[in-house]
A and B are shown apart, each in its own frame.
Chain A
Amino acid sequence: MTSDLTRLTADALAAKLASKEVSSVEATQAHLDRIAAVEGAVHAFLHVASDSALAEAADIDRRRAAGEQLHPLAGVPIAIKDVIVTKGMPTTSGSKILEGWVPPYDATVMTKLRAAGLVSLGKTNMDEFAMGSSTEHSAYGPTHNPWDLERIPGGSGGGSAAAVAAFEAPFALGSDTGGSIRQPAHVTGTVGLKPTYGGVSRYGAIALASSLDQIGPVSRTVLDSALLHDVIGGHDPRDSTSLTDVWPSFAEAVRNADVAGLRIGVIKELQGDGFQPGVMERFREALALLEGAGAIITEVELPSVEHAIAAYYLIMPAEASSNLAKFDSVRFGLRVNPKGGGTVEDVMSATREQGFGAETKRRIILGTYALSAGYYDAYYGSAQKVRTLVQRDFAAAFANADVLVSPTAPTTAFKLGEKTGDPLSMYLNDIATIPANLAGIPGISVPAGLAAEDGLPVGIQFLAPAREDARLYGVAAALEALLEQKWGHTLLSQAPDLSFSEMNATDEGAV
């Protein structure tokens, strides 16, 4: 019977825990059983922390039995993207250069999860250092999309999205530099939100591009993302880019969802050419539903968006090349001694050659080039100017709309291996998600249905002005309710049952 517990939302499970109908140990064991049953097929996790998860759960049960006042989510299991450093759990960021590294400290988001009594199930797979849109750049093998195991689960946070979609965890933490929370949500029929830049602490998130990175929630329902966001958000003195704002309750925003009179601006540049017909069909259907509920649909233009990918693929590698300099074979991670010895620089070069994968090397070299003498102004400097233009476009658009909307990505999940040979075509997946990172504004992807031509999930993306994350929860929750009313079920209830793969269950630890 415990397997039914994995079908519950985090909110529903929290209610059963609070009423003592279910114990945290039962809930945690149910998810560990599910992980054991489907991981051979899905490979969402790099590390499953069975023993510590059950110990954490038992501690919550003991405290609840003792009458202690607990956080409403106490005892609910959660999965953690491997980009987030965790005391007691290995943290690799999907790279061989950090294989087996157990951090001596927790990221601030982990400290907050532990304080709220959430139970960490383990660490989820990702493209190496969050560089990718498919998890195929993970040094530990790709994650498979629970809707079709031959297809990508999105990236870089494909592990977190797939874990949630496959009912291995009710929700998860992700990180989003150019779409790594939202695009996996789009291709797996799940929900993911990138908060306003600075809305969630990045302390202890292994940096890819510091001016773009943001940690956020991944879940099956809009309410669960909001509940998680309420736990992890807020100012952190350990992150100098952390905003000091006092944030409203995002769960409240979901419960008060109403789109009557809401002005929704459709982004003209993010539709049409290159967007799959089935993606556009679900997109237009969602807009019609929102209009029927009283929203005012208008069209807005973001002319600089056509240069956003180009700017992003200069800024991100430039910052990455700098951030990844810390992997120097001295303080943590891999050390490779070249044949015949050598200086510390020779050791460093040999270590980085062996420890980094192809995509990571590609981006470090690209970033080093963009920052090198004689090219800095032309490339990095120009890209930063495009960033200004994108921000101005958004400011103008938000003068006439409360939220903006686009498909989250141009296509449904593509096949594993389809784009690994062509870096540029892989980069173009992020066309709709990158502008929000450049501008620092929040964005959410919520399921819009299945594409008619392939039966695969499609997401819809809403964007709001900086600091207006609550608007996204409102409009996404309203759409979610309208769509589920129309369908008569949740989207994920239509996903294939994966329990046939029980024979391939994996043991605890890296797989």
Chain B
Amino acid sequence: MSEITQEQVTHLANLARIALTPEEIVSLTSELGSIMDHVATVTEVATPDVPATSHPIPLQNVFRDDVVGQTLTAEEALAGAPDHDGSRFRVTAILGEEQ
């Protein structure tokens, strides 16, 4: 069994910005442990001489001309936003009181 603790899952949930419930943390701790036990086998075959592949068919220097293309209008970009002031997305406070 991989050593995944509830503290670790709580930390990961914080990094991933998901306010998990205590019940979810308990179940994810056990599920993550059993999944990691299974997938950890990759470490056995990944010897130092094998290069990593990040992209199945690598392409290089994919550029376009630096010209203005077709873009969304502000109205279109804001159309699906939960809150906006007509020209900008609106959010709540960025910093908490203790910050």
Q: Give residues in A with beta carbon < 8 Å to B.
A: 101-105, 196-198, 211-212, 237, 240-241, 243, 304, 307, 309-311, 313-314, 321, 325, 328-335, 337-338, 341-350, 352-353, 356, 358, 361-362, 364-366, 368-369, 372, 378-379, 381-389, 391, 423-424, 427, 437-441, 466
Residue of B nearest to A338 (CB): B19
Specify the main secondary structure of chain A where it touches its partner.
helix
Report if A330-B92 is in contact (Cβ < 8 Å); known contacts: A353-B18, A381-B52.
no
Interface string of B28-69 (1 = CB under 8 A from A): 100110111011111101110011111111010010100000
**Cα of A126 to Cα of B12 in the assembled complex, Å:** 27
Complex formed: what's the CA distance from A437 to B56 in Å? Answer: 8
Could you pull out 29 A-B pairs where Cβ atoms are within 8 angstroms?
A102-B79, A211-B54, A237-B64, A241-B55, A307-B45, A311-B39, A314-B39, A333-B80, A342-B96, A344-B93, A346-B19, A347-B92, A349-B17, A352-B19, A361-B18, A364-B18, A365-B9, A365-B13, A365-B16, A369-B4, A369-B12, A369-B36, A372-B15, A382-B43, A385-B42, A385-B50, A387-B56, A388-B53, A424-B35
Q: How far is the CB of B94 from chain A (nearest CB, A)?
A: 6
Complex Cα distance A333/B83, Å?
A: 10
In the complex where A310-B42, A349-B17, A384-B54 touch, is A343 in contact with B94 (Cβ < 8 A)?
yes
Task: Indicate if the CB atoms of A105 and B72 lie closer than 8 Å.
Answer: yes
Known: A310-B38, A424-B34. A211 touches B91 (CB 8 A): no
B81 CB contact (under 8 Å) in A105, A332, A381: A332
Known: A382-B42, A423-B35, A424-B34. A331 touches B89 (CB 8 A): yes
Contacting residues, chain B, for A196 (C-beta < 8 A)? 57
- Complex Cα gap A168–B85 (Å): 42
Distance (whole angstroms) from the CB of A422 to the closest CB of chain B: 9
B56 touches A211 (CB 8 A): yes
* Residues in chain A near residue B20, CB distance under 8 A: 353, 361
- Decide: B57 and A440 in contact? CB cutoff 8 A: yes
| Whole-angstrom CA separation of A387 from B51 in the bound complex | 9
Look across to chain B and name the residue whose beta carbon is closest to the beta carbon of A345: B17
CB contact under 8 A between A388 and B50, given known A307-B45, A310-B42, A440-B56: yes
Q: Is B82 an interface residue (CB 8 A)?
A: yes
Residues of chain A with a CB closer than 8 A to B31's CB: 362, 423
Residue of B nearest to A304 (CB): B45
Contacts of A369 in B (CB 8 A): 4, 8, 12, 32, 36
CB neighbours of B28 from chain A (8 A): 361-362, 365
Interface pair B93/A343, CB less than 8 Å apart: yes
**Among B38, B51, B91, contact of A347 (Cβ-Cβ < 8 Å):** B91
In the complex, what's the smallest C-beta–C-beta distance from A382 to chain B, in angstroms?
4
Q: Tell which of A307, A321, A358, A387 touches B52, judged by Cβ atoms closer than 8 Å.
A: A387
Q: List 3 A-B pairs, minimum CB-CB distance, nearest first.
A: A440-B56, A335-B82, A382-B46
What residues of chain B have their CB less than 8 Å away from a CB belonging to chain A?
4, 8-9, 12-21, 24, 28, 31-32, 34-36, 38-43, 45-47, 50-57, 59, 62, 64, 72, 76-77, 79-83, 89, 91-96
Residue ID in chain B nearest A367 by CB atoms: B16
Q: Which residues of B contact A361 (CB under 8 A)?
A: 18, 20, 24, 28
Contact A330 B59 (CB under 8 A): no
A427 CB contacts on chain B under 8 angstroms: 35
Minimum Cβ distance to chain A for residue B67 (Å):
12
In the complex where A365-B12, A365-B13 touch, is A331 in contact with B80 (Cβ < 8 A)? yes
- State the Cβ distance, B1 to closest chain A Cβ, in Å: 13
Closest A residue, CB atoms, query B51: A388
Given A349-B18, A364-B18, A388-B51, do A383 and B32 touch, yes or no (CB 8 Å)?
no
The complex places the Cα of A288 from the Cα of B24 at a distance, in Å, of: 50
Q: A102-B80, A104-B76, A211-B56 are in contact. Are A352 and B95 (CB under 8 A)?
A: no
Chain B's nearest CB lies how many Å from the CB of A469? 13
The residue in B8, B34, B91, B96 that gathers the most chain A C-beta atoms within 10 A of its C-beta is: B91
- Name the A residues within 8 Å of B8 (CB-CB): 369
| Docked-complex contact A211 and B39, CB < 8 angstroms | no
> Once bound together, how far apart are the Cα atoms of A387 and B52, in whole Å?
7
A35–B3 CA distance with the chains assembled, in angstroms: 50
**Which of B15, B35, B59, B82 makes the CB contact (< 8 A) with A241?**
B59
Could you tell me if B80 and A332 are in contact, using CB atoms closer than 8 angstroms?
yes
Q: Which residues of the other chain, A, contact B93 by a CB distance below 8 angstroms? A: 342-344
Question: A330-B89, A368-B12, A424-B38 known; A381 and B46 CB under 8 Å?
Answer: yes
Say which residue of A344, A388, A466 sits within 8 Å of B92 (CB atoms): A344
- Asked whether A368 and B16 contact (CB < 8 A) given A307-B42, A330-B82, A332-B81, the answer is yes
Q: In the complex, how many angstroms separate the beta carbon of B55 from the nearest chain A beta carbon?
A: 6
Q: How far is the CA of A497 from the CA of B13 in the complex (A)?
A: 47
Q: Which of B4, B19, B56, B94 contacts A439 (CB 8 A)?
A: B56
- B42 near A383 (CB under 8 angstroms)? yes
- Whether B41 and A307, one on each chain, are in contact in the complex, defined by CB atoms closer than 8 angstroms, is yes
CB nearest to B77 among chain A residues:
A104
Interchain CB contact under 8 A, A344 and B42 = no
A389 / chain B contacts, CB cutoff of 8 Å: 45, 50
Given A104-B76, A358-B24, A365-B9, 9 more pairs with CB closer than 8 A: A105-B76, A198-B57, A307-B41, A310-B42, A311-B39, A379-B42, A382-B42, A383-B42, A385-B47
A441 CA / B62 CA spacing, docked (Å):
21
Residue from the set B8, B15, B42 with the largest chain A CB neighbour count within 10 Å: B42
Once the chains are docked, how many angstroms separate the CA of A318 from the CA of B56? Answer: 16
A365-B81 Cα distance, complex, nearest whole Å:
26
